[in-house]
């Protein structure tokens, strides 16, 4: 029975590789079939089912996934466990591409947003750093730091407005979940988008002023963007367009931290 499931997984993997190749060769095919149809369909299904739950989807997906592939295998011996693990790995890869990974067929950030490359050297970075330091020092803030959920709800419409203006679909409502502090920071990352859960995640131990920019960055991933620099660009543009001074400050602080190295 397991070998039949492995064969199905391998055949699906071959289909995934074929589609990935076709998408890389035809941006139009990727855009019409995956970005604007299949990805949006899955996005809406998730966001209005698992996405409305009060707990992160990852807490449901991971146990269910491993129970499905490994449940009962330990009673059948080492070979059964190995086959179950092999099947799980195959489908982790398959679902990664089906749920999000095909978006790597996107062009560069310069192509996506019609940007001109900038020559970056030490002089440019020093100049930008000094200018950004001045911006940070003069950015108006208030004494109130808005809660995580308010940041997510406030950033989402700004995100959808920005990327839809650029011609990208924005169906669904991408969720960004706060997870227990330290889980991500131990790996020197403040947030992560997990395609299998279809949600972004932010470390609960993160400095609160960094929440808005990190939320926007992971939300950009959720709306199909794969490149880290592109998501940083989107997050900066979205946050600096907000009327909320803390959200604007979070973006300026993030840019300043990148410049400071």
| Radius of gyration of the chain measured on its C-alpha atoms | 21
- Given 73, 90, 105, the domain boundary residue is 105
Kindly state whether residues 149 and 236 are assigned to the same domain: yes
Question: pLDDT, tens digit, for every residue of 110-134?
Answer: 888 988 888 889 999 999 999 999 9
pLDDT at 141: 64
Q: Could you list the residue range(s) of the whole structural domain that residue 8 is in?
A: 2-105
145 has a pLDDT exceeding 70: no
Burial class (CB in 10 A: 0-12, 13-18, 19+), 200: buried
The whole-number average pLDDT for the span 61-89 is: 86
Kindly state whether residues 25 and 131 are assigned to the same domain: no
Kindly state whether residues 126 and 70 are assigned to the same domain: no
> Residue 45: beta bridge partners?
none
pTM score of the predicted model: 0.93
Kindly state whether residues 153 and 185 are assigned to the same domain: yes
Kindly state whether residues 248 and 125 are assigned to the same domain: yes
Identify whether the C-beta of residue 224 lies closer than 8 Å to the C-beta of residue 35: yes
Identify whether the C-beta of residue 158 lies closer than 8 Å to the C-beta of residue 238: yes
In degrees and rounded to multiples of 5, residue 238 shows phi and psi of -70, -50
Kindly state whether residues 113 and 55 are assigned to the same domain: no
Kindly state whether residues 76 and 133 are assigned to the same domain: no
pLDDT at 21: 98
In sequence order, the 6+-apart residues with CB closer than 8 A to the CB of 21 are none
In 3D space, the residue among 62, 38, 17 whose CA is nearest the CA of residue 196 turns out to be 62
Q: How many structural domains comprise the chain? A: 2
Kindly state whether residues 132 and 46 are assigned to the same domain: no
Q: For the chain, give the percent of residues with pLDDT over 90.
A: 73
Kindly state whether residues 213 and 113 are assigned to the same domain: yes
Rounded to whole angstroms, how far apart are CA atoms 166 and 207? 31
Rounded to whole angstroms, how far apart are CA atoms 151 and 202? 12
- Given 105, 131, 154, the domain boundary residue is 105
Rounded to whole angstroms, how far apart are CA atoms 144 and 4? 58
Kindly state whether residues 77 and 171 are assigned to the same domain: no
- Given 63, 79, 105, the domain boundary residue is 105
Kindly state whether residues 96 and 117 are assigned to the same domain: no
94 has a pLDDT exceeding 90: yes
140 has a pLDDT exceeding 80: no
Question: pLDDT, tens digit, for every residue of 170-214?
Answer: 999 999 999 998 889 888 899 999 999 999 999 999 998 899 999
From residue 194, alpha-carbon distances to 157, 168, 214, 217 in Å are 21, 21, 14, 13
Kindly state whether residues 61 and 141 are assigned to the same domain: no
């Amino acid at each position: 029975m397991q070998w039949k499931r492995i064969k199905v997984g391998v055949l699906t993997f071959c289909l995934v590789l074929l589609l990935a190749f076709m998408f890389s060769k035809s941006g139009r095919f990727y855009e019409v079939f995956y970005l604007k149809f299949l990805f949006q369909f899955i996005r809406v299904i998730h966001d209005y089912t698992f996405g409305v739950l009060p707990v992160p989807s990852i807490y449901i997906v991971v146990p269910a996934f491993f129970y499905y592939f490994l449940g009962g295998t330990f009673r059948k011996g080492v070979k059964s466990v190995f086959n179950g693990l092999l099947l799980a790995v195959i489908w982790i890869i398959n679902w990664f591409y089906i749920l999000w990974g095909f978006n790597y067929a996107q062009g560069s950030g310069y192509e996506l947003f019609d940007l001109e490359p900038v020559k970056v050297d030490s002089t440019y970075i020093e100049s930008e750093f000094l200018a950004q330091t001045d911006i940070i020092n003069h950015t108006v803030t208030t004494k109130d730091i808005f809660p995580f959920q308010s940041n997510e709800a406030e950033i989402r419409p700004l995100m959808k407005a920005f990327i839809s203006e650029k011609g990208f679909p924005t169906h669904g409502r991408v969720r960004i979940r706060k997870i227990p502090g330290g889980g991500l920071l131990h790996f020197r990352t403040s947030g992560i988008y997990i395609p299998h859960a279809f949600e972004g995640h932010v470390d609960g131990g993160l400095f609160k002023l960094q929440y808005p920019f990190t939320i926007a960055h992971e939300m950009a991933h959720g709306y199909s963007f794969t490149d880290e620099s592109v998501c940083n660009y989107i997050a900066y543009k979205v946050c600096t367009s907000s009327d909320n001074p803390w959200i604007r400050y979070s973006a300026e602080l993030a840019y300043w931290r990148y410049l400071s190295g």
